[in-house]
Structure 1
């Protein structure tokens, strides 16, 4: 990928692994066996998709007009298709990267000057300023907002803990 990832993201992946927060907000992880949830695979795929969209005339967000700027996806929203990126600017430390959301079924973009962990926290605690999460109580049961399911469990790769056989 050619970038050093933010420390808060590394802590999230070290603590939780990749997976889904609140039943809708996916955190991508490096080396996931499923390319859909793999940070590296999704970075390559999203770069190709965005290049094609912009070549067809879709408008880029103004944040990308600044020069040698790059988008690196770190998450997406289940069902809606929104993709969450870091806005990687030359000379800007990873901890200072902006979170930028591209709506899943349209050309709109939304920038948030915060870390990915803060963005996730704000969504889960229903304090997000994002237009796309202002109705989270209509989307997710409040009791489920704090749940996390690891990708390994979703893909059926997590071993189920069983009591020892009697015998």
Structure 2
């Protein structure tokens, strides 16, 4: 297993490590979590690698919360595709646990097999709007280290992912909202970028979409 020190040397953590009450998190999930993920979460906190890869954390919002509604919603969508044959899925959706996502709409999954040996879980990445899957034979920290060092090229990820070098950007604190979350998928940022470029707006290839572009897109589809 790749030591977290390898990742932090490549991409320094932005803060002092923070202890998380993992017993409560694992109790809420009903399953033990990989040791490398726990270290990663404590060292880095919520945020994005290369302004593109977001790893779910215990907070700060329901959309990126490990114990929030998104992992189960995504699994339900996969199950529907699996049962209806919409897209070929190389893994049983019941064994896939969403551990992160990207600005383009791909998701990162733990392949939770064997279920009771989380340190042996591998990583899978789906295609945002297509049938392609990529499987990495290693842990989450090993996956991030390999991708951020340029050793692993995930076909679904942008070719210029490392153009500015490996980086980690912490999320800004967001107050937790307890009201029910509407049962709808996350916004397709790739579709917004495509619409914006087709309509003369300037948008970055990845990262945050400007608020005026987002507002214009929402007005156009409403």
For normalisation by structure 1, the TM-score amounts to: 0.76
Consecutive unaligned residues of structure 1, counting only runs of 5 or more, are 158-167
1:89 maps to 2:109 = no
* Residue equivalent to 2:17: none
**Contact 1:22 1:148 (8 Å CA) reproduced:** yes
> What is the match of residue 141 of structure 1?
163
What's 1:13 paired with?
41
* Structure 2 unmatched ranges of 5 or more: 1-28, 177-222
Q: Answer yes or no: is 1:2 the counterpart of 2:30.
A: yes
Match of 1:54 in 2: 82
Contact 1:97/1:115 (<8 A) preserved: yes
Q: Distance in 1 between matches of 2:51 and 2:90?
A: 31
Deviation at 1:45, TM superposition (A): 1.6
Aligned equivalents of 2:67 and 2:74: distance in 1?
10
Greater length-normalized contact order (CA 8 Å, ≥ 6 residues apart): 1
Q: Distance in 2 between matches of 1:150 and 1:15?
A: 11
1:18-97 paired onto structure 2 within 5 Å: 18-30=46-58, 32-41=59-68, 42-64=70-92, 70-78=95-103, 80-90=104-114, 93-97=117-121
Q: CA deviation at 1:92?
A: 5.5
Q: Contact 1:23–1:140 (CA<8 Å) still a contact in 2?
A: no
Aligned partners of 1:109, 1:92: CA distance in 2, in Å?
Answer: 24
Query: Which residue number in structure 2 is paired with residue 119 of structure 1?
Result: 143
Tell me the CA shift for residue 51 of structure 1: 2.0
**Deviation for aligned residue 1:62:** 3.0
Is contact 2:46–2:60 with CA below 8 Å preserved after alignment?
no
Alpha-carbon distance in 2 for matches of 1:13, 1:96 = 18
Go from structure 1 to structure 2 and tell me whether the alpha carbon gap of 1:50 and 1:127 turns closer, same or farther (over 3 Å shift): same
Higher strand share: 1
Contact 1:73 1:86 in 2 (8 A): yes
